[in-house]
A and B are shown apart, each in its own frame.
Chain A
């Protein structure tokens, strides 16, 4: 090894100062810090659910978070995306990206990270909703036939038993700084944008790049690189780790918290938005800081 200027003694001093680390990180390989951060995020990432069809104090009518089929609906069997939507409880393993056109509500529920050990389900590295329907957005697959879009989704389904290992490797592949995955800035096309994706088209054809390419046609925002979790079974309320609510709902949230404690012995925490901030967009914008708090050891 060539010594730097200063001679052997100064080299030894530098080596000692660096903790003895003499290995250089090969170009393109993650640093030790990136590996540690990816492992921390992958192991501790909670899930966030946005139950926007009932008010917070009425959630108890469900008994648990349930899909339409859990509530008795029959599957039509004509569109696999419709059946997927009807038979799973959806959550994000990432920022609360539910503040989208057509999703109306003002409270979010963060689920315990280990809910995936108790409830059957699967995860994918992008929002499956961006592939469905006539307004599919995940480019370039959005322009292809439904069967092709479904096949693409199936190629990226990971059961809960293995999804966190895949998630960790995905973070290291896509980000030099895996912490950026948690970004929830106002421009959802640029928030948390990865350095690369697998396949590369996810980045090349969506987000800011997609807006430049497709103009007034749809492309996906940060949901092209936000992991989606799909719980196949109902999610009991004791899996709620944290309720994120507007300030004015604190008393109601506290009643829900007390009721949950009486029923299950396990009570969710409560976090409120600042009074002047308007949900649901504020729930998304603040989700980065909530996730960082929940992920840290």
Chain B
């Protein structure tokens, strides 16, 4: 059967709960954005079919009511919470793990134009996840990962923060020639890519640390682009990467990771490098806006 449920002004969906999410997310594959699994108060699986705004600014959803979810593990590839969460319209589950927990403080204190009180509160809690979560932060621990049930805009801000931090760490790893750290940060960067430029930057890091995977990465992500277009995007990212490395090292000439110097025409001075970094950060902030 189908049912029409009311949605409160805060987005809460009446008589619906979140009992888990689709898929299983490994602790070293985070963050992962996963669709929540809903039940009604009778424990029956529910799918949201349609959102119906009314002329009085109240909103309803039409839901499809299915079979009971039962107790124990959910059928298929799915993850069950220990306790259900209230259901909200426009929310999804963000699953965080090893990387986010290790860098929670740095992510929280990162200077970033796009702010979110929820993201800050979540990251603050993530530094000490053994504590109860603050009010308004809906979380569930699942083995080695933590699921945060949050709105789309909060997920976007978190992804953007991780992306900025991961890029800085990629540059630092490249400068100290730490291939393992560069690989880890590049994959982390890829998992939060919000724009093609983000993906190209991650690919440049993988080029220098996980080369066998680069071709697969570019084919999987940029399958709609021509080879020339992909090469152009990659080349632009290579130049940005090299310039940021040079700025990090405080050098007046940039060198490529594997020791070959760039051609003289590619050499830029420190003021220009600072400007390049500022431009890149502005691009990210504009896209977030």
Interface status of A15 (Cβ within 8 A of chain B): no
Interface status of A277 (Cβ within 8 A of chain B): yes
Binary CB contact string for chain B from 27 to 62 against chain A (1 if under 8 A, 0 otherwise): 001111111010000000111011000000000001
Give bound CA distance, A274 to B199, whole Å.
10
Q: Residues of B within 8 Å of A, CB-based: how many?
A: 50
* Segment at the B interface, from A21-29, A52-60, A118-126: A52-60
Which A residues from 90 to 134 make CB contacts under 8 A with B?
A: 99-106
Interface status of A247 (Cβ within 8 A of chain B): yes
Give bound CA distance, A274 to B32, whole Å.
11
With A216-B1, A248-B25 as given contacts, are A275 and B35 in contact (CB-CB < 8 Å)? no
Give bound CA distance, A274 to B74, whole Å.
26
Interface status of B125 (Cβ within 8 A of chain A): no
Which B residues from 211 to 255 make CB contacts under 8 A with A?
A: 213, 216-217, 219-221, 223-224
Which residue of the partner chain A has the closest CB to B39?
Answer: A101
Report B25 CB to chain A, min CB distance, Å: 7
Interface status of B4 (Cβ within 8 A of chain A): yes
A221 CB contacts on chain B under 8 angstroms: 49
A105 CB contacts on chain B under 8 angstroms: 22-23, 76-78
Interface status of B178 (Cβ within 8 A of chain A): no
* Segment at the B interface, from A30-38, A74-82, A249-257: A249-257
Report A7 CB to chain B, min CB distance, Å: 48
Which A residues from 134 to 190 make CB contacts under 8 A with B?
A: 135, 187-189
Report A18 CB to chain B, min CB distance, Å: 33
Interface status of B131 (Cβ within 8 A of chain A): no
Interface status of A293 (Cβ within 8 A of chain B): yes
B223 with A275: CB separation less than 8 A: no
Give bound CA distance, A102 to B35, whole Å.
12
A280 with B22: CB separation less than 8 A: yes
Q: Which of A104, A188, A252 meets B37, CB within 8 Å?
A: A104
Give bound CA distance, A246 to B77, whole Å.
14
Report B200 CB to chain A, min CB distance, Å: 14
Q: Which of B23, B29, B65, B213 meets A279, CB within 8 Å?
A: B23
With A100-B47, A101-B46 as given contacts, are A280 and B35 in contact (CB-CB < 8 Å)? yes
A278 with B35: CB separation less than 8 A: yes
B77 with A52: CB separation less than 8 A: yes
With A271-B220, A281-B35, A293-B223 as given contacts, are A188 and B22 in contact (CB-CB < 8 Å)? no
B29 with A275: CB separation less than 8 A: no
Binary CB contact string for chain A from 200 to 218 against chain B (1 if under 8 A, 0 otherwise): 0000000000010001111
Binary CB contact string for chain A from 243 to 287 against chain B (1 if under 8 A, 0 otherwise): 000111111111001000000000001111011111111100000
Which residue of the partner chain A has the closest CB to B79?
Answer: A104
Among the interface residues A106, A218, A272, which one has the most CB atoms of the partner chain B within 10 A? A106
A257 CB contacts on chain B under 8 angstroms: 216
A278 with B92: CB separation less than 8 A: yes
Report B48 CB to chain A, min CB distance, Å: 9
Report A175 CB to chain B, min CB distance, Å: 23
Interface status of B209 (Cβ within 8 A of chain A): no
Interface status of B15 (Cβ within 8 A of chain A): no
Among the interface residues A135, A187, A217, A278, which one has the most CB atoms of the partner chain B within 10 A? A278
Report A58 CB to chain B, min CB distance, Å: 9
The 10 A-B residue pairs with the shortest CB-CB distance in the complex, in nearest-first order: A104-B76, A106-B23, A104-B78, A101-B47, A101-B66, A52-B76, A270-B220, A278-B35, A105-B77, A248-B29
15 interchain pairs, CB-CB under 8 A: A101-B47, A105-B76, A135-B67, A211-B2, A211-B62, A216-B2, A221-B49, A253-B220, A254-B213, A272-B221, A276-B33, A278-B93, A279-B22, A280-B35, A281-B35
Starting from the known contacts A211-B2, A218-B1, A275-B192, 20 additional A-B residue pairs (CB-CB under 8 Å) come to A99-B35, A100-B64, A101-B46, A101-B64, A101-B65, A102-B45, A103-B76, A105-B22, A105-B76, A105-B78, A216-B2, A217-B1, A254-B213, A271-B220, A271-B223, A272-B221, A275-B190, A277-B33, A278-B35, A279-B22
